[in-house]
Copies of this chain bind each other. A is one copy, B any other.
Amino acid sequence: MLKDFMRKKLREQGSRVTAQREAILKIFEEYGDHLGADDVYNLLLKRKKPISKSTVYRTLELLTGIGILRKLEFNGGVYRYELSEPSSNHHHAVCTRCGKIIDLKFEEVSELFKKAEKMGFFVNNYSIILYGLCPSCQENEMKSITEKMDNDESR
């Protein structure tokens, strides 16, 4: 159980198990991935578990440090987090129109790693992100283009 893992890890390093930390972990277990600090904050509000934003930030950082969360950086300069357990090698496709994030599995990254290591670089972590349009935004994009053409014609 992830909760027990967190407790163990926290105690190991002399950190404490607090209600806030458990509540945040729960949010990730229930609402899944790609949550930003603000999302976590608001979800806890809705759940009648008000928390301070600084605590959210500090906890996300802490949980990343002990390997429970992974810190992600998509378009927009907002950090997001996901449970780091599931599948290590999945990447993200971010829709630049609506912001939707799609997960992708992919293994063939090893080649790139080898190259980096040949250059003496020690790889700790990596991020692969595709930017583009998700299916529904492609449709909408189409619509706007058609509309625009209609307008141009009727001038």
Contacts and interface: CB of A to CB of B under 8 A. Distances in A.
Interface stretch (A20-28, A50-58, A104-112): A104-112
A133 interface: yes
A113 B143 CA distance: 25
Contacts of A123: 93, 130-132
Interface stretch (A2-10, A41-49, A72-80, A145-153): A72-80
A119 B132 CA distance: 12
A135 B93 CA distance: 31
A116 B102 contact: yes
Given A115-B105, A116-B93, A116-B104, A125 B121 contact: no
Contacts of A130: 112-113, 116, 121, 123, 125-126
A124 B133 contact: yes
A129 B132 CA distance: 18
A128 interface: yes
A125 B132 contact: yes
A31 interface: no
Interface string A52-71: 00000000000000000000
Interface of A: 73-75, 77, 79, 91, 93, 95-96, 102, 104-106, 108, 111-113, 115-116, 119-135, 138
